[in-house]
A and B are shown apart, each in its own frame.
Chain A
Amino acid sequence: MSALKRSHENEVEKLLANYPPDRKRAAVMPLLHMAQQDGGYITEADLKEIAEICEISPTEVASILGYYTMFHDKPEGRIRLMVCTDVACRLRGAREYLAALCNELGVAPGGTTRDGMVTIEEVKCIAACDHAPVFQSQIGDEIEYHENQNPDRTLDWLKLMVSSMKSVEVKHE
């Protein structure tokens, strides 16, 4: 048995049951989410396994992966900060907020900090325009909203998260 089926034994079958039996391809996005949830990104092996389950080619699975912005094919920071700079947020200082954050972290939008902890990303509207500036954090599978932000508030939260993640590691060593 391959990785996904091993780690989510019943879930794969349950997922397929959501769609007509001759439409296995419909499970491709849920399976990509499942694979990403495990490893933080989607590997070549995942592509092959998902292709087998959905009865399509790995290339077709790869095209889905490439099309949707929330799927990733390489490891990035353990904490992903997704800052919206779209129209409504921009009217309330989101660009200045993002620039200040990037400056403090020493990375450009899309970049990852040297310690590999934080990736900061400029994203399109995330449906929180009334509380701009706003970002979503993603740690593993957990996506959370952080509204009414300013650079200091975000950096304080970030320091706390990074140090708690690092201290967990020390304990495990």
Chain B
Amino acid sequence: MSDLYLLRHREIQGLNQLRTYTANGGFETWKKVVTTFKPEEVTQMVKDSGLRGRGGAGFPTGVKWSFLPNNIWPHYVVANADESEPGTFKDREILENNPYQFIEGLMIACYAVQAHDAYVYFRGEFSQIAHKFEERLQELTAKGLLGEKLFHTDYSLHIHPHLGAGAYICGEETALLESIEGRLGQPRLRPPFPAVVGLFDKPTVINNVETLTNLPIILGKGVQYFRSQGTEKSPGTKIFCLSGRVKNPGNYELPLGTTFRELIYDCGGGILNDAKIKAIMPAGASSSLIPATDAALDTPMDYESVPALGAQLGSASVIILDETVNISDLVESTVHFFKHESCGKCTPCREGTYWMARIIERINHGKGSKEDIELLKTVAGQMQNKCFCALGEFSISAVQSGLQHFRADFEARVER
């Protein structure tokens, strides 16, 4: 087991109180950054650290920041706290238990791109967290850590919480921006990218909660320290959300590159009732299914190795399926999710998820035929690469990989 950085609160009691956080070195990095660093030095350090976005895409964070043009102002930073991917529950733990490290990270990101206003988009179901967050911001302002002319410099910063109201799609960064602006949470056409035309049409950085929570470590303890964990291309630690048919589900902070086997058996205690493991979904409901072969179990969980198995690491929401799970049932569940959450903007997703739901229901409820299995495959194939945003593409991952690797589960449902 590695040291804990993101889940430090498990070792330090009361870390969600400002006095405990500051007693443990909290906001010293923030002060150091504002008083002694040039903004471009911060960006360079984050680039050198190799930190990659923890929300799903794994894009290098420092590179993302460097896309902001310096001739258009103001710049905005938006923290994505719209954690909604089925199987993901890491940001909630950070926000409840280690919130100041997240806020300090957000502040550092703002300084790097010289934003004076930042927004935190909380999913509506996190309303208690958002209310508490407002109190924390007042506390920080009172202590002179947030607000006007910080540490007697010219730099000022204000953070505004913004509460969503139940829409998975708002985790998609352009839909999130639409939602803040008071419109339907539907994705925007790209380009232009948010780095150039983002919130209120201004250059904007959007980072996930966990990504930002890494920044006080990188800026405080240095690039080498950060890179001492994880792999060359996927440095640092990551919170793996382990759920499904395991004995000890939960969040586990581990170096990137830890194998599935270590997560499932060493951390998770193995499969419920010691049943046989069947498949792994490494990125929540959006994930392709990986058959749990020995080779798959020994694969390192990082941004390069998981794609080699035909899936993505995504937000590392690792859902475990055992032999008691019929993949046809599982696919019904993921398809229903995407049908419910489809924003309706583009036809392939709006119609495709609807059709897939109808077909899989028919198959699972004894009204299907072998032709329906083929039809399901065809509909999924017709959606592929034709949806407006990633949500539509995600909706077919479990369908296609399920049919590819576990077709017998579907066929068993249509044989009479």
Contacts and interface: CB of A to CB of B under 8 A. Distances in A.
Interface of A: 18-20, 23, 25-30, 32-33, 54, 56, 63-64, 67-71, 82, 86-88, 90-92, 124-132, 136, 141-144
Nearest to A88: B243
A126 B168 CA distance: 10
Interface stretch (B37-45, B216-224, B244-252, B364-372): B244-252
Contacts of A92: 243-245, 249
Contact of B333 (A26, A29, A56, A90): A90
Given A86-B333, A87-B330, A128-B92, 5 more contacts: A25-B181, A87-B333, A87-B334, A91-B319, A127-B88
Contacts of A54: 182
Given A70-B125, A86-B337, A33 B244 contact: no
Nearest to B341: A124
B58 interface: no
A63 B184 CA distance: 8
Interface bin, chain B:
35 or more
Contacts, number: 140
A144 B128 contact: yes
A30 B128 contact: no
B167 A23 contact: no
Contacts of A142: 128
B4 to A, nearest CB: 17
A127 B83 contact: yes
B319 A87 contact: yes
A130 B167 contact: no
B160 interface: yes
A26 B180 contact: yes
11 contacts: A18-B160, A25-B182, A27-B182, A54-B182, A88-B243, A124-B84, A124-B337, A127-B83, A129-B243, A129-B319, A130-B241
Contacts of A143: 125, 127-128
Contacts of A132: 243
B185 interface: yes
A50 to B, nearest CB: 10
Interface string B27-48: 0000000000000000000000
B184 A125 contact: no
B181 to A, nearest CB: 5
Contact of A68 (B85, B165, B249, B285): B165
B165 A32 contact: yes
Interface centre among B83, B241, B244 (most CB of A within 10 A): B244
A130 B334 contact: no
Given A29-B182, A124-B337, A87 B285 contact: yes
Contacts of A20: 200
A43 to B, nearest CB: 17
B91 interface: yes
